[in-house]
Structures are given as C-alpha cells and as structure tokens.
Amino acid sequence: MEGRFATGKAWILDRGSGSGRGSGRTLEEAFDLESERLKAFIEDSPVPEVFSAHLEMLEDQLLRDTILRNVSGGMVPVDAVIAAEDEIMGLFLGIDDEYLRSRVDDVRDVCQGLIDCLEGASPNSYESLPPDAVVVAEELFPSDTAMMDLDKVKAFVTAKGSPTSHVRVIARSRGIPAVTGADISGIRSGDLLLVDEANGTVEVNPTEERLEAVRSMNRGVSVFPEEARRAVLDSGVKVLGNAGSIKEIEAVIGAGAEGIGLFRTEFLFLGSDNLPSEEEQYQIYKKAVEACQGRPLTIRTMDIGGDKTVPCLNLPKEDNPFLGMRGIRLSLSMPELFKEQIRAILRASALGKVRIMLPMVSRVSEVIQAKALVKECEASLEASGTAFGKNIEIGVMIETPAAAFVADLLACETDFFSVGTNDLTQYVMAADRGNASVSYLLDPLDDAMIQALRIVFKAAREKGVPAGVCGEAASEPKVAPVLCEMGADSLSLGSPALIGELKGSD
Amino acid sequence: MIAKKTTIKAPEGLHARPAGELVKLAKSFPGTKTLISNGAREVSAASVLSILSLALKKGTEVEVKAEGPDEESAVNALAGFLDSLEG
C-alpha cells in the first residue's frame, strides 16, 4: 500500500434500487435468508463480532415488532422495513454518545440486508470487482466490505459516512485509503480516480503530470502501520504534541493532541537583540495556555547552549558546547534571567494547567536549586499580590546518562520525567548527532539505550512518577510501541499529521 | 409486578456487549415480561435496540421491572447483573 493516496478504476456499487421489483419472498423468508447470510459471515469474516451484533439486531424484538406493526397497518414489506428503520434511527439520533450513535449504522445495515432479500438484489455483484478497483458507493456497510475481495480494492469513496464509520475502520485496518463525504455524482464506472485521503479529495481522470506530481509529493511520507498504531493506542499512552511556537501549538492541539508535552522557549531568546522581559514572556505563555484549550501545557525552561547560541548573552565560546553550559546549567548560572522566566511561567499557570520542565539535568542538586528559585518567585508574586497557580508541577528531561543513572533520586524530587531520546542517544552512545559517519550508532533502541530506558522507567514506576517521551523516537513506528511497552505514559510528537493518525481523527 | 432500582457503574455506560448479555438474561425467563427504564422511558429488557436507545451512561439510575411466574428471580438477576458491571 502506498499510504494515504491511491489511484484506480472506479467501480460503482449499484444496489439495484428496484422499488416495486419484488423477489416474491415473504417477510418471514427474508428474515430467514438474511439470518443465514449473517451466520455465513460469522463463519468467514475476520470481524465475526460485527456480524454477531447484526444477527442479534435482526432477531431483536423491537425491530421485528415495528416491521410487523407496519405491515399490519397496510404497508408492503419493503416499505415496512424502511419505515421501521427510520423509526429506530430516530431513537438513536438524539443520543449524545458517538459510540451508540454509530450503532445506527448496524441497524441500517441489517435493514438494507432485509430489503436486498425482499427485492432479490444480487449480492454476487462484488464478483465483478476488477483488480485496482476504487469502490464508489452512496454508503458502505460491514456486510459490503465482508463480501469484497479487499486485495482488489485500492481505495473507498463514499458519499455518506464519518471518520468513525465502519468503512473507515476497515480501510484503516487494511491500509486502504478512504474518502467519505465525497461528491460522487460526476463519477462514471471505469473512470480513473485519484483518491487522496489526507486531503479528502477525489480527482476524476487526472492528467499524467498531475499523477506524477502527487506520487513524488507522497514519497517519503511516514505512515504508522496499523499494527504499530494499535500497539500504541492499546497501551493507553497519552498522545501529546511538541511545539516551538504558538502556531505549532495550535496545529498539534487541532490535530487532537491531549496536551503539549514539550513547549520549547528558545525562540524567545534566539534571534532577538534583546532578552525578553518577564512581561513579554508572560504574554507569550498566556497565548500558549489559551491555545491549549484547557489541556496541559509543559513549558521547558530555556535550553540555550549546545547548538543554540544567544548573541546578546555574549557567552564565551566553548570547545565542546554539547558538553558545556547548556540548559539548566546555564539557567542556574544566571539566576536573575532564570527567575524572570519562572515568574512569567508561574503567572501563566494562573490561567490553566501548566508544568515546568527542566532541560539537561544531570544531578539532583540542580533540581533542588531550581525548585528553591521557583519557591522564591512564588513568594515574590505572593507578596506583590500577583495571581499564579499554586503547586505547579516541576519535572525533568532525562537526556543525560547521569540523569538516567540517578533516575530514582530524581524521581523523589520531581513530579514527572520526559525522556529526550535525541540527546540521550547521543550522550549514551557518545556519538555526535551532527556527524554523519557515526550516525549508525544513533539507534534509540540500541542495547545500551534499552538499558538506560529500563533504569528510567523502572525508577518512574517504583516512585509513581509519570514518565513520557518527547524525542523523535516517539514518532518512529518501530520504536513507539517498545517505549509504550516499557512503561511510557505519554508520547509527545511534533507532527500534527501523525497525531491525527494516532488519535484517529482527520 | 416487582421492581428494583440500581445505578449504572460501568465508566463507558451500558454498551452493546453488556446490553446483549442483559437481553440473554432477560430471555432466560420465558413467560416473564421484563422492562427497564431510565426514568424518562421504559422499554423491553429483551431487546438490545431498545436498551441501547436508552443511552444508559455511568451514573444513570435505572429501574428494572418484571411481571410473570419468575418475576422475583428475574428482577434480582437483571439488577444483579447491572450491579456487577464495573467496566
């Protein structure tokens, strides 16, 4: 599968509307036939529970009573089924629960099956499915996809349906692109269709140039395979977003992130000629809290140093900047500057759930010093009557081997961990991230890394401290499930598309 | 006619599977009519569709009723089953 777009020949599902064109079957015979059909599906289908549920509905007293009542009121059987379907759907439509509302699809599938049996519509039509088919339909039900040879299906296009509807679930599990809510009126059987799930578009008979352009655009797009996606979701891990600006917060929250696991604040310090004041920082953090729409925001204090230099600080040049004054080391060496940032964060925490995260920690004393500064800032805000959130959570990045080794001690002093896999890998493996000739060592699941991660997650578990991951590794389909299995409680990802994919939204 | 009240405790509310089990239980008392109500509407406890249409969420108070030869054991079984759902 090529991921989220596909090309193929349109194959239009014709249910044979044929009202009035009866099969001569009685309602009782239709019930029996549909029941047999469902039982056969239960035997053959990879998703038997779907059809067990349908069989239960077919045998349901409410459905049967409603249809029979309609028939005795003078309706022909087909109309009686349609009217019963409408009536039962009416019971469900007002329900404020997505799961229950989607049961409506099951009711309609069962009713459609009954109507097919009454009208004598032939379910064998799927045998005419050509290879490379794009199945186009008003709507697709579980029984439809169960009858198709899905190996022949390149994509699904339906006029009705939502992201939670059955066709999307099946499509996702098989890696088949699907577009629901499409305008299918202009599509004729045999048309070449270009289906782009990510953009929700269907192009009819595109030019060769257009096809080539789309193919090259989609090359290299990483897609979480279904197996990895399931493993991640089933672990119950929280999916958070990484951001380095307000726009990026909006993008990842919009994609469905449950919060911000890493808000980088370096952009406030880099690239400007003056250091940002407490007030300027507060205004930005305030916007960040608002952009989170009530979800938690983890602000990482300035991670300056390493490859991120700040011209206006006039810091001395270092031979090994990655082993030099970086992150918390630099912050603690300039407490006045650090306190301005802390005060701005504390003020923003009055507006929503905010957490402080310290980068580049390598010993417990750094955390204790930072916490003392936070206390000092709280006291000064209290004294001046400025609002701030009480008991702010303070956590640490685990990105040095030292931090991993003393994770149990750090856990006693902190509220959460966040593993920065990029730097942790570079430091554990002693391999420069910027040096291509040693890049083969930068494997987040190298034996040494597994050992380091084990120490961290074990300490977190024993001390009851949540431990997440905010590095690139969390975005890798091979690595993310391993991190979840080892005990990560959250994955913080930078790609809105990936977040959307994991959260199952568009 | 016997009635008993209980509260839905399952975090997700009463979904298809437990509703199906409830129906099986209700049908195991043939000849006894069983009903379930969310206060606003009362439906047959022998129909999954009817039960689902009540949209019973966590915290909803429900009343089960039964009338017939096995009414006492039916009510106890249905209420007991709902009580046992903790998610």
Mean pLDDT score across all residues of chain A = 86
Point out which residues pair with A467 in neighbouring strands: A417
Same domain, A383 and A447: yes
Contact yes or no for B49 and A100 at CB 8 A: no
| Pairwise CB contact (< 8 Å): B55 & A103 | no
B49: chain A residues, CB-CB within 8 Å: 57, 60, 62-63, 88, 91, 107
All structural domains of chain B, each given as residue ranges with its CATH number in brackets, are: 2-84 (3.30.1340.10)
User: pLDDT digits over A229-248, tens only?
Assistant: 888 888 999 999 999 889 88
**Cβ distance B50 to A66 under 8 Å?**
no
* B18 neighbourhood in chain A, CB within 8 Å: none
C-beta atoms of A92 and B52 within 8 A: yes
CATH number at residue A490: 3.20.20.60
Residues A269 and A157 in one domain: no
Q: Which DSSP category does A129 fall into? A: P
Nearest to B47 among A61, A95, A96 (CB): A61
How close, in Å, is residue B5 to chain A by CA atoms? 23
Question: Of A218, A252, A282, which residue is a domain's last?
Answer: A218
Catalytic site residue from B5, B7, B15, B72: B15
SS3 A252: helix
Give me the pLDDT at residue A506, please. 37
Distance of CA A132 to the CA centre of its chain: 29
Which chain A positions have a beta carbon within 8 Å of B24's beta carbon?
A: none
Mean pLDDT value across residues A82-86: 92
Residue that finishes a domain, picked among A120, A151, A179: A120
Q: For chain B (length 87 residues), average pLDDT per consecutive 10?
A: 90 80 91 92 90 87 94 94 80
Domain that holds residue A139: 125-218
Q: Which of these ranges, A263-272, A275-284, A365-374, A450-459, has the smallest mean pLDDT? A: A263-272
Give the Cα separation of B24 and B13 in Å (integer). 18
Residues A168 and A106 placed together within one structural domain of the fold: no
Task: Give the whole-number percent of chain A exceeding pLDDT 90.
Answer: 47
Enumerate the residues of chain B whose CB falls inside 8 A of the CB of residue A53: 16, 20
For A55-61, what is the mean pLDDT? 88
B15–A99: do the CB atoms touch at under 8 Å?
Answer: yes
3-state secondary structure of A436: helix
Domain count, chain A: 3
Residue of A nearest to B46 (CA): A61
The letter for the amino acid at A426 is: Q
10 Å CB burial of residue A230 (0-12, 13-18, 19+) is middle
**CATH number, domain with residue A95:** 1.10.274.10
B66 vs chain A: nearest CA distance in angstroms? 17
Pairing of strands A153-158, A178-179: parallel
pTM listed for this prediction: 0.52
The pLDDT, as a whole number, for residue A164 is 57
Same domain, A179 and A237: no
Q: What is the mean pLDDT of residues A317-329?
A: 91
A201 and A317 assigned to the same domain: no
What pLDDT sits at residue A163? 58
A354 and A437, same domain (yes or no): yes
Cβ–Cβ of B47/A103 closer than 8 Å? no
Cα(B40)–Cα(B45) distance, rounded to whole angstroms? 15
Q: Which amino acid is at A237?
A: V
Cβ contact, residue pair B13, A95, below 8 Å: no
pLDDT score of B18: 84
Residues in Cβ contact with A94 at an 8 Å cutoff, skipping those fewer than 6 apart: none
Identify the band that residue A257 occupies on the pLDDT scale cut at 50, 70 and 90.
Answer: very high
- Partner-chain contact B43 A88, CB within 8 Å: no
Report, as residue numbers or ranges, the catalytic residues of A. Answer: 166, 470
* pLDDT at residue A500, as a whole number: 82
The answer to whether A342 and A381 have CB atoms below 8 angstroms apart is no
B36 min Cα distance to partner chain A (Å): 14
